[in-house]
């Protein structure tokens, strides 16, 4: 293990983070928040100096292997989360609560321990949303886009961080790929900001809501989330952009500049849209049966289905009060998640689809044992190696879910809350049911429970294996 390279790159991450802290500092200056100015100035300086110290003291070698790649990504996200918690600590949160809120931000989970959200300063809430926006496309990908010295070794980092069963390399040059992804991300974010502002939101709310939407994060400057605006146009805009963020960003790039029908021709996108339509109609039918008008039911069900499946976690109603059928549909969507290459979390549509298709093929082989038929997903043939990695991922994902649920239940938390808290943090969704519902928060959970759930967020955002491989004895052997 080349520890010098690992911590040199982590130093670059911290320097980038320190520079980004200047944005909430500017917000604090604009709103005249004196205490916040000091807090973000101290945070930015200390984070930047720590990054500079690591980068100067330790030598970077451009050529490094998979071990260094996994270590940089997994430890880098953890270190960034720790330094990102400094403002929360200085605002008075406990160490565990500060780390929980920071991890929920960078991993785009959106679960929160804040009780009275609107009592915090504008700069504080801006920082929460900004951490989600940075974490959405990935802090490693951001550094790859702006740092000229990571071109060769950065390939390992890109593969370890990029969401989904496969990393989509748009150009031969990795730096150009990272730049394209971030440019698409920024441009779509700007479009949403403008539309939300034109729809009647204050500029501050339009910016912070966009940060959370595009990252599929769910942090809101309002305690009642999107329902606080009482604006159907805002709901529609947010829902559309959540849907966009839940699709593959490489396809957005291709649809804009190469082939306009790239999205609708993509098999994973077709299944993604189909699942959302089906889930929305099922929930709408259940809500209508409960006495709501069908069109109102469809409006509520569609927004929440998109919000949960894309792992954003925004709310336009307290879905914790819905019937068991509707809540079960939402619970299942927490596991499916968005498309590969999106900012969404959870298992991903492609993995779920491949597993279902593989199961069908096994049934087919029982009837026709001599037929040789490759497993296809769209136009792609799924190799044995890819299939094996998908099975390994899902097995470890379910194992993490089961273990965290057992720990929470052992702490005296009811079963529904334990199940949903584990699913929503591991899938980077945000709200759950019962004690952790959309109108509740995670503040009342015991400290051990919070540590378990923030660990879920970490391993869930980095696709489980990137983090868990660090805990194998073989990883550290020469």
Is pLDDT of 9 > 80? yes
Between residues 411 and 72, the one the model is more confident about = 411
Which position has the token pair 């550094």?
143
What is the number of other CB atoms lying within 10 angstroms of the CB of residue 122? Answer: 18
426: buried, middle or exposed (CB in 10 Å: 19+, 13-18, 0-12)? Answer: buried
At 64 the pLDDT is 66
Cα–Cα distance measured from residue 314 to residue 238, given in angstroms and rounded to the nearest whole number: 9
What are the distances in angstroms from CA 150 to CA 4, 229, 398? 14, 43, 34
Is pLDDT of 217 > 70? yes
What are the distances in angstroms from CA 440 to CA 1, 224, 430, 451? 44, 10, 11, 18
Cα–Cα distance measured from residue 16 to residue 139, given in angstroms and rounded to the nearest whole number: 9
Q: What is the largest CA-CA distance in the chain?
A: 75
- Is the CB of residue 222 less than 8 Å from the CB of residue 229? yes
Provide the pLDDT confidence category of residue 473 given band limits of 50, 70 and 90.
Answer: confident
Cα–Cα distance measured from residue 76 to residue 14, given in angstroms and rounded to the nearest whole number: 9
Q: Express each pLDDT in 227-263 by its tens digit.
A: 999 999 999 999 999 999 999 888 887 777 777 777 8
Buried b (16+ CB within 10 A) or exposed e, 9-25: bbbbbbbbbbebbeebb
Tokens describing residue 382: 């799924």
Provide the pLDDT confidence category of residue 296 given band limits of 50, 70 and 90.
Answer: very high
Cα–Cα distance measured from residue 167 to residue 161, given in angstroms and rounded to the nearest whole number: 9
Q: Express each pLDDT in 375-424 by its tens digit.
A: 888 888 888 888 998 999 999 999 999 999 999 999 999 999 999 999 99
Least confident of 170-184, 307-321, 390-404: 170-184
Is pLDDT of 303 > 50? yes
Mean pLDDT of the chain: 89
Question: What percentage of the chain has pLDDT greater than the value 90?
Answer: 65
Q: What is the mean pLDDT of residues 49-61?
A: 85
Between residues 255 and 293, the one the model is more confident about = 293
Between residues 433 and 167, the one the model is more confident about = 433
Is pLDDT of 167 > 70? no
Q: What is the mean pLDDT of residues 353-369?
A: 91
pTM higher than 0.85: yes
Q: What is the SS3 string spanning 86-144?
A: HHHHHCCCCHHHHHHHHHHHHCCCCCCCCCCHHHCCHHHHHHHHHHHHHHHHCHHHHHH
Is pLDDT of 145 > 60? no
Between residues 179 and 61, the one the model is more confident about = 179
Question: What percentage of the chain has pLDDT greater than the value 70?
Answer: 91
At 287 the pLDDT is 95
Cα–Cα distance measured from residue 474 to residue 478, given in angstroms and rounded to the nearest whole number: 8
Between residues 140 and 55, the one the model is more confident about = 55
Provide the pLDDT confidence category of residue 369 given band limits of 50, 70 and 90.
Answer: confident
Q: Express each pLDDT in 104-139 by its tens digit.
A: 999 999 999 998 899 999 999 999 999 999 998 877
At 170 the pLDDT is 52
At 445 the pLDDT is 95
Cα–Cα distance measured from residue 342 to residue 306, given in angstroms and rounded to the nearest whole number: 14
């Amino acid at each position: 293990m080349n520890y010098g390279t690992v911590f040199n790159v982590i130093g670059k991450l911290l320097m980038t983070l320190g520079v980004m802290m200047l944005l909430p500092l500017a917000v604090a200056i604009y709103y005249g928040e004196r205490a916040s100015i000091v807090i973000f100035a101290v945070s930015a300086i200390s984070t930047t100096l720590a990054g500079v110290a690591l980068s100067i003291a330790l030598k970077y070698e451009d050529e490094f292997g998979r071990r260094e790649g996994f270590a940089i990504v997994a430890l880098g996200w953890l270190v960034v989360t720790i330094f990102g918690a400094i403002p929360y600590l200085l605002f008075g949160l406990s160490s565990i609560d500060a780390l929980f809120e920071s991890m929920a931000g960078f991993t785009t989970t959106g679960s929160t321990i804040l009780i009275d959200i609107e009592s915090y300063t504008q700069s504080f809430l801006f920082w929460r949303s900004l951490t989600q926006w940075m974490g959405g496309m990935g802090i490693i990908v951001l550094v790859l886009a702006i740092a000229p010295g990571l071109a060769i070794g950065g390939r390992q980092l890109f593969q370890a961080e990029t969401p989904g069963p496969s990393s989509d390399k748009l150009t031969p040059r990795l730096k150009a790929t990272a730049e394209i992804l971030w440019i698409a991300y920024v441009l779509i974010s700007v479009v949403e900001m403008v539309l939300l502002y034109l729809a009647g939101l204050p500029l501050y709310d339009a910016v912070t809501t966009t940060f959370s939407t595009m990252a599929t994060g769910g942090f809101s400057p309002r305690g009642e989330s999107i329902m606080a605006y009482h604006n159907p146009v805002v709901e529609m805009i947010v829902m559309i952009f959540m849907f966009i963020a839940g699709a593959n960003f490489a396809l957005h790039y291709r649809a804009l500049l190469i082939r306009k029908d790239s999205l609708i021709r993509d098999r994973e996108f077709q299944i993604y849209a189909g699942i959302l339509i089906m889930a929305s109609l099922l929930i709408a039918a259940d809500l209508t049966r409960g006495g709501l008008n069908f069109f109102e039911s469809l409006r509520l069900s569609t927004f929440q289905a998109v919000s949960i499946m894309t792992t954003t976690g925004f709310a336009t109603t307290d879905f914790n009060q819905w019937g068991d059928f509707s809540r079960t549909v939402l619970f299942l969507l927490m596991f499916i998640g968005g498309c590969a290459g999106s900012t969404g979390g959870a298992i991903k549509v492609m993995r779920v689809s491949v597993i279902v298709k593989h199961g069908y093929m096994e049934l087919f082989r029982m009837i026709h044992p001599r037929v040789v038929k490759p497993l296809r997903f769209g136009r792609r043939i799924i190799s044995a190696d890819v299939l094996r990695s998908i099975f390994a991922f899902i097995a470890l994902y379910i194992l993490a879910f089961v273990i965290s649920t057992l720990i929470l239940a052992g702490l005296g938390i009811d079963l529904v809350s334990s199940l949903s808290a584990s699913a929503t943090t591991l899938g980077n969704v945000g709200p759950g049911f019962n004690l952790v519902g959309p109108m509740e928060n995670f503040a009342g959970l015991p400290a051990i429970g919070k540590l378990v759930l923030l660990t879920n967020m970490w391993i869930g955002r980095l696709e489980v294996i990137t983090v868990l491989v660090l805990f194998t004895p073989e990883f550290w052997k020469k």
